[in-house]
Amino acid sequence: MSEAKDKILGAASDLFLEGGSAALSVRAIAKSAGVSTMGVYTHFNGKEGILDALYIEGFDNVFAAIELPETRLGTRAAVKRTVKNYLSVAENFESHYRLIFGERDADYEPSPEAYEAGARAFHRLTDLVAGLLSPRAPRARQQRAALQLWALVHGLVSLRHHAVSELIEIKDWRQLVLDAVDAHVGAVERKIR
């Protein structure tokens, strides 16, 4: 990616964290990035293109966080590593995370390429979680188990992003998430025995 594109995406990411989608105008992004508004249109075809680029980067980061085990016996460990990686993505790429998981402008509709990035991440997670299930489990069951795991982790991350995290003191948020995932994975494994 060119330096100008990196600056534009970095500026858009910062503005999104400061004020959500409402803060993302081509003019504000250009000013923050130190480029002309024409530069934003040239590199991204405007605000929609920037949002798509952030959306795709966000799901590419989620995809990269998902570790597939080398053997079926390593699935539990791979799930744990994946959850740790996912939590890092949520922290280190917070604007991307918030964009792909619901804090986007009502007028923004992700492109087919952006949706495909999300689908790739979910398919990879499904492939990981399939290792916890019976080898004969149908794909629909694998997807359901993947969705349950994703909902659990995402729900805890979302609660941390909101005021709920201020209601109770949690000394080690990551450990809370890992404990919840461990309990969930144990339940999934017991169910297939």
From CA 101, how far away is CA 126, in angstroms rounded?
18
Q: What is the mean pLDDT of the chain?
A: 87
Among the ranges given (36-45, 70-79, 153-162, 164-173), the one the predictor scored with the smallest mean pLDDT: 164-173
Per-residue model confidence (pLDDT) at position 74: 85
Q: What is the dihedral of CA 146, 83, 120, 63, to 10 degrees?
A: -170
Residue 36 makes CB contacts below 8 A (sequence gap 6+) with 30
From CA 124, how far away is CA 181, in angstroms rounded?
18
Say which residue the tokens 């330096």 belong to: 3
Within 20-46, where are the H helices?
A: 26-33, 37-44
CATH (residue range 55-192) = 1.10.357.10
Query: DSSP assignment of 61-106, as one string?
Result: HHHHH-PPPSSGGGHHHHHHHHHHHHHHHHHHTHHHHHHHTT-S-T
From CA 16, how far away is CA 14, in angstroms rounded?
5
pLDDT in tens, 37-48: 998 899 998 888
Per-residue model confidence (pLDDT) at position 73: 63
From CA 17, how far away is CA 12, in angstroms rounded?
9
Model confidence at 72, pLDDT cuts 50, 70, 90, reads: low
Per-residue model confidence (pLDDT) at position 114: 94
Query: In which residue ranges of the chain is CATH 1.10.10.60 found?
Result: 1-45
Query: In which residue ranges of the chain is CATH 1.10.357.10 found?
Result: 55-192
Looking at the domain covering 1-45, what would its CATH class be? Answer: mainly alpha
Predicted structure pTM score: 0.86
Evaluate if residue 82 carries a pLDDT over 70. Answer: yes
**Cβ neighbours around 120 below 10 Å, total:** 16
